[in-house]
Each structure stands twice: as C-alpha cells, then as structure tokens.
C-alpha cells in the first residue's frame, strides 16, 4: 500500500505540474490530465515525449528573441488600410505578424497544375536566388523535378537553399541532393530524426510551404511538393490553395525563410541584403502571419482567424482539411451564424490520417447547432487552408484550423486585404460547393455505437497528438 501512495502522490504532482506548464493550452491539458490519471507515471512520460509545450517554448525562446529583434520595416509604401482593417492589421503585428504593407501584386491559385506550372516556371527563370522551404518533398517525379531545377540554377551561379522538415520529408533523393550540393546549392533539414528520438521537439514540425524567387516573388501555399499534390496519388484530384505575392511584402517572407534556415543549418544569411529585393508591383496590401511553439498565447495566425470571424458580419467561408477550432473561434463563428451571417465550412469527406474523419465531424457538430453550414467535399481530397470574409478579408497559407497548427507546428500564412482576391476565392469556394453535400446535425446524431466511440477516440487523440 505504501508504494501505491507514493505513486499516487507523484502522479498528483505530475498532473499539477502539467496543469501549470500547459496554461496556454487548456484544451489539450484536460485530455492529458485524464490520460495521466488513467495511466499513472506512464501517462506523464507520454506527455513529456509527445504532448508538452513548455520545453518547446523554452527551447525555441532564443530563436524567438533573436527574430523579434530582427523585425525591420521594408520600403515605406504604407499599408493603405483604414478603420477596421487598420485595427486588425495592428493587432496581428503586435501578436507576432509582420506589418501590413501595400504595393503588392497578388495571384490566387486553386488548381494544382496551374500552381506548379507557375512555381517551376518562376524558379527556372530565377536570376539571383531561390529559397525553398517545404514540409514535404516527395521522392517522386515532382520532387525530383524541383531538385533538378535547383541544381540547374545552382550551376548557373545562383544562391540556392532548400529546407525541409525531417519528419515530413523523411528522405530526399540522395543522388540529386549530392548533385545539388556539388553544384553549390545547400540543403538542410529542420531537426534530425536521430536527435528527435528522445527529444520533445519531435512534435514541433516545420509545416511552412514557402518559395522565394530572386527576393521578389513569393509563393505561399498549402501545397507540398510531390505527385500526390498534382492529383496523381491515392486520393485522386487534389484541391489546395496558394497565393503568389510580388512586391515589398516579399521581404518579410524572405526573412522568415532565412531565419528558419539559420536555425536549421547555422548559416546566417538573415542580414544579407542581396536576398531582399521586394519592390512595388501593385496596389494590394499583404500581411505575413506566422506562428509556432515559440509563440504561446500570441500566435498571429490564431489571431488572424479570430480577427476575420470578429470583423465579418455578412459572410465567412472557410475551407480546412483538419477542423478543430479553438474555443474563442468556435464562439465567434457560432455568434456570427446566430446573428444571421452566412457562415460555411468545407471539410473532406475522407481523412488522410487515422483520427481526422470523426474529429472533423465532432468539431462540425459544435458549429452546426448554431446555424453554421458544414459541407463534405467529394471530388478527391481538399487540402486548402483558406478563409474569406465579407468580400475583403482573405487568408491563405499552411495553417490548418486545428490545435496542432495553433500550438505545435511552425506555420506561415498570408493575410490579404483585397476585394479582387476575395472575389477569386469566393468563386473557387462556390465551385467547390458544386462538389459537396451538406452535412447535418441529423447525420451526426445518427452515428452508431462504434462511430460514437471513434468520434470520442478521434477527438481525444487529436488534441493529444
């Protein structure tokens, strides 16, 4: 009995410690506390290995502090924003985003072939530098094509840097990586498998998808690099979203990529002015938002989603493959729907991960009973992470609307203040609706016992992992 009391006391101390450490993430805290109570000591070990965020906040603190000091204004084209838009942009800046800056030309992509054609064409025409940062680069035809372009540009004397996430990519084509390095290009991984085995950082992925060409043109997207993302994988047609930005906002994305590159490779190019060449190219205002485990409680991407829901009164249209909005976002979306706004969400009708399908539907149920309309997409897989509101507020990027993107992953989005781009996004959304069916509360409530258990398990594990 004495050992049982000791174990119980230790477990209680561990749970209380976790409650304090995860005060920034109360949603996941409850679930980890249940696991630690159900599986004493072992639950705490699992929490340390997979769930904790306090070590990540400490481990990435130096990265965060250095990058905060490096925030600089680009050429002063002004934001061109007024009223509510100016208020929102300032809030996003104070929460860790870049300043909003005008003078940009922006193109929205909703078709994979068009996106990859333009991305590769821009890279092939590069004259100064190519910076590429992707969560996944597949070892297939599309991945090899990217690497071959980088090799050719490196041989031409360009500065070429490729950064991938070790867990997401796992392995690149060794022959082409060797060839790229021999040509003068450089490749790095964000963390290494061998050092992650016993490290809590294994849950902190670099999920960003950014390409910067000549410091002038930036592609920000939800697309990884591979055949699958051109519709050649098991899901068939792949629906994603991206934005191409040309103008002074490019400098902020350049800085983010170079800061991540420095963290991963120890090569410091952040202050190398030759990489920053953003010049006025249009009249659209763009604001970079980014987030990661180094920004607890002040994630500018989370603030971006909340701000869009807060600012819009007529309509909010959201697309996300992983639906798990935070409590503030849930209540704002519910409030807007109850006020009569047209709030719609598109999610996949299939899950690309084991626990996604029923977790999405649980989150959908929390919105639908307030009048939010949720649709299931049937034409392949929808991977786009977008939000468009009131014909003006636009969000495109790598961040899903779920706990992992808000608390664990390094993410990067574009906040675009533009009626023209909003019209393009709304047109694409309406086209997607033609390939959707409405998911209802009646359908959710009709789940059988096994499906209800899957829902519980999916919801539990979604916040844990």
Q: Which residue shows structure tokens 């670099």?
A: 206
d(CA 402, CA 177) in angstroms, rounded, equals 33
Tell me how far apart the alpha carbons of residues 115 and 423 are, in angstroms, rounded to a whole number: 18
Nearest to 428 by CA among 103, 117, 104, 107: 107
Placement of tokens 């209802």 in the chain: 440
- Between CA 350 and CA 358 the distance in angstroms is 10
**In this structure, what are the phi and psi dihedrals at residue 366, rounded to the nearest 5 degrees?**
-70, -20
In terms of residues, how long is the chain? 465
**Within 13 A of 338's CA, how many CA atoms are on the CB side?**
10
DSSP E strand boundaries for 225-364 = 238-239, 242-246, 284-291, 315-319, 342-348
Please count the helices (runs of H) and the strands (runs of E) in the chain.
19, 17
Cβ distance 260 to 208 under 8 Å? Answer: yes
Strand partners, 133: 163, 210
Does 165 participate in catalysis according to the annotation? Answer: no
207 is catalytic: yes
Residue 209 annotated in active site: yes
The catalytic residue among 214, 294, 349, 463 is 214
Choice among 191, 209, 302, 454 that is catalytic: 209
Among 191, 302, 383, 454, the active-site one is: 383
Sequence-distant (6+) residues with CB within 8 A of 211 are 119, 122, 123, 130, 131, 132, 133, 134, 218, 219
- Active-site residue, 260 included: no
Q: In angstroms, rounded to a whole number, what is the distance separating the alpha carbons of residues 161 and 269? A: 11
User: Taking a C-beta distance cutoff of 8 angstroms, is the pair 109, 244 a contact?
Assistant: yes
Dihedral of CA atoms 254, 259, 260, 263 in degrees, nearest 10, equals 160
Residue 3 neighbours by CB distance under 10 Å: 7
* Cα–Cα distance measured from residue 22 to residue 27, given in angstroms and rounded to the nearest whole number: 9
Q: Which residues are catalytic?
A: 207, 209, 214, 383, 385, 390
């Amino acid at each position: 009995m004495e050992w049982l009391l000791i174990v119980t006391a230790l477990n209680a101390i561990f749970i209380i410690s976790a409650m304090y450490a995860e005060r920034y993430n109360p949603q996941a805290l409850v679930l980890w506390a249940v696991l630690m109570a159900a599986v004493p000591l072992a639950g705490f070990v699992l929490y340390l290995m997979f769930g904790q965020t306090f070590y990540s906040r400490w481990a990435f603190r130096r990265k965060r502090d250095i990058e905060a000091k490096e925030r600089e204004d680009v050429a002063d084209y002004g934001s061109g924003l007024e009223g509510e838009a100016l208020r929102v942009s300032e809030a996003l800046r104070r929460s860790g985003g870049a300043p909003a800056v005008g003078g940009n030309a922006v193109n929205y992509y909703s078709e994979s072939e068009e996106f990859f054609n333009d991305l590769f064409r821009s890279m092939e025409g590069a004259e100064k530098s190519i910076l590429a940062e992707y969560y996944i680069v597949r070892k297939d035809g599309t991945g090899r094509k990217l690497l071959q372009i980088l090799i050719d540009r490196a041989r031409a004397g360009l500065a070429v840097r490729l950064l991938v996430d070790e867990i997401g990519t796992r392995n690149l084509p060794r022959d082409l990586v060797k060839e790229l390095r021999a040509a003068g290009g450089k490749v790095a991984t964000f963390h290494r498998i061998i050092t992650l085995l016993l490290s809590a950082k294994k849950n902190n992925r670099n999920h960003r998808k950014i390409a910067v060409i000549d410091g002038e043109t930036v592609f920000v997207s939800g697309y990884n690099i591979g055949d699958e993302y051109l519709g050649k994988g098991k899901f068939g047609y792949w629906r994603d979203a991206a934005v191409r930005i040309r103008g002074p906002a490019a400098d902020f994305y350049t800085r983010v990529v170079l800061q991540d590159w420095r963290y991963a490779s120890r090569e410091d190019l952040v202050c190398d002015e030759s990489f920053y060449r953003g010049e006025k190219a249009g009249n659209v205002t763009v604001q970079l938002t980014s987030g990661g485990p180094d920004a607890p409680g002040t994630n500018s991407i989370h603030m971006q989603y909340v701000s869009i829901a807060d600012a819009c009164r007529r309509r909010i249209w959201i697309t996300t493959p992983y639906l798990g909005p935070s409590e503030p976002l849930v209540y704002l979306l519910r409030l807007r729907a109850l006020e009569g706004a047209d709030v719609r969400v598109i999610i996949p009708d299939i899950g690309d991960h084991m626990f996604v399908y029923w977790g999405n539907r649980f989150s959908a149920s929390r919105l639908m009973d307030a009048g939010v309309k949720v649709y299931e997409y049937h034409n392949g897989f929808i991977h786009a992470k977008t939000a468009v509101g009131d014909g003006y507020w636009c969000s495109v990027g790598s961040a899903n609307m779920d706990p992992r993107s808000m608390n664990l992953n390094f993410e990067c989005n574009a906040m675009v203040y533009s009626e023209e781009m909003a019209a393009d996004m709304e047109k694409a959304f309406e086209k997607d609706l033609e390939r959707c069916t409405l998911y209802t509360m009646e359908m959710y409530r009709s789940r059988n016992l096994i499906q209800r258990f899957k829902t519980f398990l999916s919801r539990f594990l979604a916040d844990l992992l």
